[in-house]
Structure 1
Amino acid sequence: MKKVILSLFSHNAHIIARYMLLTHALHETGIKIYILDLTNKLEGEIDKYAKLYKSKHTFTYININQCINRRKSFNKKELNKILNHFNKTDPTPVCSSTNFISEFTTENNIDLSPAIKQVKEDYLKIFLIKLLEAIDLLNIINPSIFVYACELDFSTRAYIAASNFNGLKVISMQHCEGNGEEYEQLPILADYYLAYSPYNCKKLIEMGVGKDKILFSGMIENDKIYTNNINIRNLHNHASPSNDIGKRIESSKYTILIALKPNNTKKYIHLNKKVIRILVEFSQNNPQIVVLIKLHPNDKDDIQKISIINKQFISDSIFIIKSSCPLTDLLKLSNLFITFNSSSIVDSHVINTRTIVIDEDDGKWPDWDFYKTFNKVDIKILELEIINE
């Protein structure tokens, strides 16, 4: 029986959701799937999405702390075998360049070379121990393929190196938004990459990934994440107030969906409050319209504890939607989608929901105008733009 390991380092909803779909599809072909939790904190999140996509019995969950024997050291034979392998196949140094440190210390007559040497040696020792632990686990499971998302944390790097050492194929499942310009700084470590958008594919090619090494997923019409029909009667489980939200949407002439920024900085909280006030006022003047205010995935589901939510905002036309509710389900119910610069633009593009993007770009995101499918407006004229829509 062929075996595949899917590794997880973050609670990114798209990655976990696609893993669940992947486990379901591979399970039907007789392939054994292991989901490797590199943080030891994602079991609840994985279980939630497994139930949502009915993939609960299609994979084996592995908590990294419970499945490997922790090493404290390594012998010279193991060390030489590993170093000889990577000296032949990977000339890339383990540590980044320290030229900038050398220039600073030279100008100030400071000799940090012994400290830098020690840091490199300590770094290498820790990495080699993690690498040996990864090799141990791969030898136990004996998979054919190792899959990781785009995060290149210490543990993921160790498993990529261990996969290389064991001769496994490595696949990188990228985030749906493509991670913008940050991709250009990532090394090419996988045999194959999955691209979720034209922009993502373009960036991978610019990095030097061959077109024959790029696989597509997520931007196709039969993608289950985008074509699963939501049961509007179950929407009350995600909403506040929960009473009659399904009937209210069905009876309304128009439904507006707003995706908020995460409530973790003063700037974002200010922007969220500002756009909520605009929509509340607009709703009061247009009672036939329903407004769905979707919390950011980084926010907790406890609506009562979100500082931006005032009781005065909630009415029979205004509903606060929990962060756990899939955005794509809400997009299918909405006539108009309002968002800031974010990866949600990809979802609205795929589902073809009319979209307004509030022009408050912090420089993190790529040029989403690439899609040419939305209006970009200043928040000051948002209400006017909604009326024009």
Structure 2
Amino acid sequence: MENHKKPVTLKTLAVELGLTPATISKALRDSSDISEKTRLLVKKTAKRLGYQPNLLARSLIRRRSNILGVLVPDLGHSFFAEVSRGMYERARQLGYETIIMVHDENARIERRNLRFLSALNVDGILIASVPGAENVELISNIYDRGIPFVCFDRVIESLNFSAITIDDEKAASEIMDHIIRANRGDIVFIGPTTDLFVAKGRFEGYKNALNRAGIKFRQEFVLQCKSNADAEQVMKKFIKTGRKFDAVLCVSGLIAYGVGCATLKAGLSIPDQVMLAEFGDNNIVHRLGVPFMTVDQMPYEMGQKALEMIVDIIDTGKQPQPPQHVFIETRILTHHFNSKSAIPTATFESQSIFNA
């Protein structure tokens, strides 16, 4: 059986050098009441023996871990991957590290993630929460124990936390205006419309744009689905009804991919016969090899600003009153596809900046 060395502790160093653990601790922290000679000796010995500080024990003493928890729905979605990158890069600049956990839109997994982060005594939690109220009580209890939250991409409507999102309703209305100006009037909306915070705003923006343009809202043009696999099947079924349509607004990039697959398999041309529009600028949509329009939600900037927001709350020791809801800048892009080079390019269409 292989022998494993015991971890090197403050006590190990103290025995090695004939000093007290308290002296060792002070020397490692460059305390002024320890001589420079002793400090150098302790650090040299610690390095030689491979000493690593116990971060959990230190955090209990200092009541600060310099660790932030991040809860995201899916890192396979390029939007959330880029939000997370913005967070961890900004965190390092501000002296923090992040623990990124994925809940897969599953309340049970989210609950386990929340309990794990709470047990680690993280300094704060950034969350894009699972839809519904199943974990609201747990989140509220963790907050009451002194761990602040900031919501990103979506808010927890029953809890008054600071948040950073886009203005989903206004962004949806804007991209719909672009579609309508392209002489498209038979526009399908596909995705959830009630449970997911972002989807509700996008659905309202869709309806508002139709109303402004004098285009009749048709319930049969609203297709419910939650995933790209669902989207492909739902879209396939809709196409088989024979209803005339010339554009589809998709709640997300993953859904847009499923819609695009069904549309192309049905022998319809994108964008000549059907315009495709989506939120999130998800990389998966490029696999279709067709032009499409997107609301770029500026995920990297969203991640950075959310991180800065929670660090401000940690530093001040209190939530701003009233809590902040910051709307991040968005822009509309048209992605083109060069069949010869197979390299997608984007054309900047418009930009909106919202603040609250």
TM norm. shorter chain > 0.5: no
TM-score (norm: length of structure 2)? 0.34
Which structure has the larger Rg over C-alpha atoms? 2
TM-score (norm: length of structure 1)? 0.32
Whose RCO is larger (CA < 8 A, sep 6+)? 2
